């Protein structure tokens, strides 16, 4: 029974206890996986007096960022910007780069109700410059199974249930479920292209502002994009992610088709 899911080794239990969630999570430290999260971005709206963080995202190419479609649904492309290389959003970090968005590719099969195909690509007006702080995620087309692997979910969202926004990059350790456990957890409403992960030691997980952010395995491999959950910190029900491997062909076919049809810098 997935509701009574138990982790298989004491090593994994200790790993999960040692890492706080994004609700109360760890800040980035130099040398840690989180501290080297050079592919992490903040998706922001510029339609207010100052830019406002909305969601996370991940760099897949110098000109492209991947996020959850529900994060940018209904948003004008001209109101979007992407910030990379920034640990604390309240301050401008050395090496930080802000980029306006010039176009958006939404998955044609996105369903707002079920969150199926909750994936989007943002095309930047100016390419990122690769640096110690900014570089792309490893996107593996056919990885070994991530089932049972302890991975890191990252985001800029709340660190407690009482604050609406942290603005500091934090992380949560989560274990990836197999597809059957994932589907059983939500009585079959988990669709193809979705995957589940959870920290049932303390309910760690993403909250408002963390959606669209990456779930990273084996230090730098993109496994998923945060899509939805029941509440912000749930000991019973797992978090549902976009399965990055499932959409590998769509991502790269979409980027290549766009570039072949448009004159780029």
Does the pLDDT of residue 18 top 70, yes or no?
no
158 to each of 2, 63, 258, how far by Cα in Å? 27, 28, 35
* CB contact set of 225 (below 8 Å; sequence gap of 6+): 58, 66, 67, 68, 118, 119, 212, 213, 214, 215, 241, 242, 244
pLDDT, tens only, 44-75? 999 998 999 999 999 999 999 999 999 999 99
pTM of the entire predicted model: 0.85
Q: What are phi and psi of 140, to 5 degrees?
A: -95, 125
Domain 2-33+137-245: assigned CATH number: 2.40.10.10
Chain position carrying tokens 């529900």: 70
pLDDT at 71: 96
Tokens for 135, please give them.
């570089």
Neighbour count for residue 217 (Cβ, 10 Å)? 24
pLDDT, tens only, 70-118? 999 999 999 999 999 998 888 888 889 999 999 999 999 999 999 999 9
At the topology level, CATH places domain 40-136+248-261 in Thrombin, subunit H (2.40.10)
The segment(s) of the chain belonging to CATH 2.40.10.10 are: 2-33+137-245, 40-136+248-261
């Amino acid at each position: 029974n997935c509701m009574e899911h138990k982790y298989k080794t004491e090593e994994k239990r200790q790993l999960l206890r040692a890492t706080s969630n994004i609700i109360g999570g760890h800040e980035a430290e130099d040398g840690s996986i989180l501290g080297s999260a050079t592919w992490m971005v903040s998706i922001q709206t510029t339609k207010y007096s100052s830019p406002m963080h909305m969601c996370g995202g991940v760099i897949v190419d110098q000109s492209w960022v991947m996020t959850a479609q529900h994060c940018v649904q209904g948003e004008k492309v001209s109101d979007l910007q992407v910030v990379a290389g920034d640990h604390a959003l309240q301050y401008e970090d050395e090496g930080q780069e802000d980029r306006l968005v010039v176009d958006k590719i939404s998955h044609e099969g996105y369903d707002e109700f079920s969150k199926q195909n909750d994936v989007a690509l943002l095309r930047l007006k100016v390419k990122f410059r690769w640096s110690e702080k900014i570089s792309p995620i490893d996107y593996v087309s056919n990885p070994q199974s991530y089932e049972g692997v302890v991975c890191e979910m990252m985001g800029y969202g709340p660190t407690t249930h009482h604050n609406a926004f942290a603005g500091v990059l934090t992380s949560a350790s989560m274990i990836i479920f197999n597809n059957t456990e994932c589907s059983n957890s939500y009585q079959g409403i988990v669709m193809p292209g979705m995957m589940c992960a959870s920290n049932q030691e303390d309910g760690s997980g993403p909250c408002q502002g963390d959606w669209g952010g990456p779930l990273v395995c084996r230090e730098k491999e993109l496994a998923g994009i945060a899509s939805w959950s029941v509440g912000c910190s749930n000991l019973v029900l797992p978090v549902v992610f976009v399965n990055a491997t499932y959409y590998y062909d769509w991502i790269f076919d979409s980027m290549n088709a766009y570039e072949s049809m448009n004159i780029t810098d």
